[in-house]
Structure 1
């Protein structure tokens, strides 16, 4: 199986900081068309998202179930399926004891992608990580995926390094999907 790993906020859905209210979660413009194009190329979709709001005490981990359900519902309305939802509740500077730790799942670490690959027999070399910051790119590169940076203004640090160079860059998710489709045609 090959996968498209999607960061959640700012990539798949509108970026509203610490939003876990299902009614306020909306797909970014063009997401349905973009993902339908990729689904025709036999990609499966997995959300991989840092949720430091849990570690900072902004909301509890139980909020993630309704968020995953909302994403699955939004994709279902677009005739798509969400194959998996993975989140990291940790942050080393968090205020909630059990979550205020360094971990292997928080992007830029590749833990969520590796877990999804193990859980679903995903071929990482045939997969893509799409995100709106270089931590997403680094996580994908470290997992062995190809990577695509959505350059929508959310990356503010631009700390570059060998693992933080994307395979491709695009201004939005639909442009990203067309680049991936073109990459497939060249193979």
Structure 2
């Protein structure tokens, strides 16, 4: 089985800019390329899981979202930080576009995107991490009894300052950014291998 790092998109690997509806608004956060490279060197699959309610709300089409994701994936590939798979949820219960206005199993903190990744990539969740800047990312980790990492990037710093209990789960760690998280995880894995 494979181990994986499940990464949120906005505020975790690219800048949080609200509903991103244009290529020019996709900006990779500092240290993210290096973090992904570290994870890849340590044999982690890189899987992006992202709620994209902008489709349900009518801010952009699903086709536009797919085009932006293709562009983003190419940006990472060009930087030798390839993302293995990307899953998104276009739904929202209060959406304005009827086809997407629903409660679903994929919208975080529901497990649908991870369930699909496990099926597609043969992932061992106990060796994997969920990393993001929102409480829903940690709630998802708790639901699946996985290790969750909360980043103080994007919405994370504001959420954490206003309510540190957002990361109250015992299997949750807090890091300043993705690079710090990657360095720690990979270093600890290396120590663990040396001990055995």
The normalised TM-score by structure 1 is 0.91
Partner of 1:39: 40
Query: Which of 179, 182, 185 is the aligned partner of 2:187?
Result: 182
Q: Aligned ranges for residues 5-20 of structure 1 at < 5 Å?
A: 5-20=6-21
Gaps of 5+ in 2: none
| Superposition RMSD in Å | 2.0
SS of 1:82's partner is coil
Is contact 2:16-2:155 (8 Å) kept?
Answer: no
Alpha-carbon deviation of 1:116?
0.8
Once structures 1 and 2 are overlaid, which stretch shifts more, 82-91 or 154-163?
A: 154-163
Q: Specify the structure having the higher radius of gyration (Cα).
A: 2
Alpha-carbon deviation of 1:69?
1.1
Is contact 1:36-1:80 (8 Å) kept?
Answer: yes
Gaps of 5+ in 1: none
SS of 2:49's partner is strand
Query: Which of 175, 181, 188 is the aligned partner of 1:170?
Result: 175
Count, aligned residues: 187
SS of 1:54's partner is coil
> 2: CA distance between counterparts of 1:27 and 1:127?
23
Alpha-carbon deviation of 1:77?
1.9
SS of 2:179's partner is helix
> 2: CA distance between counterparts of 1:163 and 1:139?
13
The normalised TM-score by structure 2 is 0.87
